[in-house]
Copies of this chain bind each other. A is one copy, B any other.
Amino acid sequence: MINNTKILDCTLRDGGYYTNWDFDNKLVLNYCKLMESLPIDYVEIGYRSISLKGYLGEYFYLPVYLLKRLKLLMPSKKLTIILNEKDIRPEHLDEVLAPCKPYVTLVRIAIDPKNFERAIALAVAVKSMGFEVGFNVMYMSKWKEDPSFLDLLEGIDETVDYFYMVDSFGGVNPSEVQEIISLVKSKTNIPLGFHGHNNLEMALINTLTAVEQGCSIIDGTITGMGRGAGNLRTELFLIYSSSRGNIDINYTELGNVVSGFEALKSNYNWGTNLPYMFSGANSLPQKQVMEWVGLNRYPISSILNALKNQKDDVSDNIKLPVLEKSSTFKKAVILGGGNYAKEHEDAIKILIEKDENICLIHAGTRNVSSYLDSKSKQFYTLIGFESEKLLNQIGDFSKIKHKCIYPPYPRKMGTIIPEEIKDDSLEVEEIEFTNLTSESPLCIAVQAAIDLGVSSILLAGFDGYETTLNQHQFTLSQENQQIIDDLLEVDNVELVSITPTKYKNIITKSIYSLIE
């Protein structure tokens, strides 16, 4: 508590969006020690949930041994968990909530305003079990458009202890915070809370404004770790507050824990960036942006263009003519972006030019310009908004006779097809050889090769990644491996790598053994 404002730190809960709710034990230990020493009231340690599909880690389900351990580590803190209203009904509470009773003080409920009535029923049930109840209501910047759900707050002062306004899009500014608080205050006397996001680097000023306007409790996370652009940094709020009043902070412990989370951050890269700024400023949903940014496949400019089209309501998902199945080629060289593509370029050119039954398929645009002079038949597989990147490299497209090939319709990120290449743009009809649904250049290139009737696919420049990967490279490398493995199952198509590769299960045959 600082000057009558309560602080809730939700690093483990909100940070879990990046780590899939698994955390290193040592880091958690230091974190708990730090929390115990700081003027923080509530520590939100994760979700509790019924069993959901897919792997979700320790801090998503918070087994009782973990609750117990965390309570022992932070005896003076009010431990908090959060429920996803969309997944949890009152009948689940015996299973989900009852075991928490000895350890947990506050139960928060994450709520979409459209389910507000259902949420109140859940809150009544949670309250009757003896917990404090917090509402985390999303999309605060949209409430002005339809504030009717706020009328349901009448008469539930006894049920709900905190009513949190969540800046889900990360796009509110201080004067909007002020305005929305007035609106909510006109409807209820429940103590208010504020959960800010940092897309526009306004988490601190919005939080300070919320406090000034009478919010009783605010959320933060260490290093701002949290979904998308992340949250108010707890340490920033503490340091700012300590310069305005006397607050006891152990800087040695704070420094150590912040450094620990910064190390994680250098791998997962939370915090704001151009796409998050854009989606925040324009109140576009975060979840999709986080997927696009997280994969590190799409250039930032593609993501920005896709977001801009969403904002402007541009219809950028156009059905293209399909690449028909044929028996046009016997072999395809698929060219990746690895260093070996460049290194063995001369040999690759000789290979593709000596035989008209071979075509070259560019998986991505990286090496396009090196092959402009080549007389071979070429294809460009393009993801997202790479058309512009391609044009930048090629210059006058009308002189080129090659085709551009896109993923099947509809494409996740949309696709603007520039006028210059419109007549030469096709899409693969369907990805048949793998269940991977993501838009990977290798995946499209392989499907195109199959559709072109080849019986032999030669990979060049798929070097693979070093063993010390960051999270993005790890994901992309796993995906490529999956594509390779699935392709190996396809009958009648031989797969070899003609430059060195770290990918597994694939046979390597030197490019130099294939040319004279």
Which residues of A come within 8 Å of B, CB atoms? 171, 173-174, 198, 200-205, 208, 235-236, 239-240, 242-243, 251-256, 258-259, 262, 272-274, 277-278, 281-282, 299-305, 308, 385, 388-389
What are 11 contact pairs spanning A and B, CB under 8 A?
A: A171-B243, A174-B174, A201-B201, A201-B205, A201-B236, A202-B205, A205-B205, A235-B277, A239-B278, A252-B301, A254-B304
A220, chain B: closest CB distance, angstroms = 12
- Give the complex CA separation of A258 and B293 in angstroms: 14
Q: A202-B205, A239-B278 are in contact. Are A301 and B174 (CB under 8 A)?
A: no
The residues of B that contact A385 with a CB separation of less than 8 Å are 252
- Give the complex CA separation of A385 and B203 in angstroms: 32
Chain A contact residues, majority secondary structure: helix
- Give the complex CA separation of A385 and B251 in angstroms: 11
Number of copies: 2
- Give the complex CA separation of A235 and B273 in angstroms: 10
The contact of A243 among B174, B205, B281, by CB within 8 Å, is B281
The residues of B that contact A203 with a CB separation of less than 8 Å are 201
Please determine whether A274 and B239 come into contact, CB atoms closer than 8 angstroms. Answer: yes
The contact of A255 among B198, B253, B281, B301, by CB within 8 Å, is B301
The contact of A240 among B236, B255, B277, by CB within 8 Å, is B277
The residues of B that contact A252 with a CB separation of less than 8 Å are 301, 304-305, 385, 388-389
- Give the complex CA separation of A191 and B299 in angstroms: 40
Q: A201-B201, A202-B204 are in contact. Are A301 and B239 (CB under 8 A)?
A: no
Q: A200-B204, A203-B201 are in contact. Are A301 and B240 (CB under 8 A)?
A: no
Residue with the highest number of chain B CB atoms closer than 10 Å, among A235, A255, A385? A255
Chain B residue with the shortest CB-CB distance to A284:
B243
Chain B residue with the shortest CB-CB distance to A306:
B251
The contact of A301 among B198, B200, B256, B302, by CB within 8 Å, is B256
The residues of B that contact A235 with a CB separation of less than 8 Å are 274, 277
A171, chain B: closest CB distance, angstroms = 8
Please determine whether B200 and A300 come into contact, CB atoms closer than 8 angstroms. Answer: no
Please determine whether B204 and A236 come into contact, CB atoms closer than 8 angstroms. Answer: no
Chain B residue with the shortest CB-CB distance to A283:
B243
Q: A251-B304, A262-B273 are in contact. List 7 more A-B contacts (CB 8 A).
A: A200-B240, A205-B205, A235-B274, A252-B385, A255-B302, A256-B299, A256-B301
Q: A200-B236, A205-B205 are in contact. Are A305 and B274 (CB under 8 A)?
A: no
The residues of B that contact A301 with a CB separation of less than 8 Å are 251-256
- Give the complex CA separation of A305 and B243 in angstroms: 14
The 5 A-B residue pairs with the shortest CB-CB distance in the complex, in nearest-first order: A255-B301, A243-B281, A251-B304, A255-B300, A252-B301
Q: A200-B236, A277-B235, A308-B251 are in contact. Are A300 and B174 (CB under 8 A)?
A: no
- Give the complex CA separation of A296 and B10 in angstroms: 29
A225, chain B: closest CB distance, angstroms = 14
- Give the complex CA separation of A303 and B171 in angstroms: 34
The residues of B that contact A239 with a CB separation of less than 8 Å are 274, 277-278, 281
Q: A240-B277, A251-B305 are in contact. Are A205 and B256 (CB under 8 A)?
A: no
Q: A243-B282, A251-B308, A301-B252 are in contact. Are A236 and B205 (CB under 8 A)?
A: no
Residue with the highest number of chain B CB atoms closer than 10 Å, among A208, A240, A278? A240
The residues of B that contact A256 with a CB separation of less than 8 Å are 299-301
A284, chain B: closest CB distance, angstroms = 10
A191, chain B: closest CB distance, angstroms = 25
Please determine whether A258 and B201 come into contact, CB atoms closer than 8 angstroms. Answer: no
Chain B residue with the shortest CB-CB distance to A272:
B236
A268, chain B: closest CB distance, angstroms = 14
Please determine whether A259 and B300 come into contact, CB atoms closer than 8 angstroms. Answer: yes
Chain B residue with the shortest CB-CB distance to A236:
B277
The residues of B that contact A201 with a CB separation of less than 8 Å are 198, 201-205, 236
Residue with the highest number of chain B CB atoms closer than 10 Å, among A201, A242, A385? A201
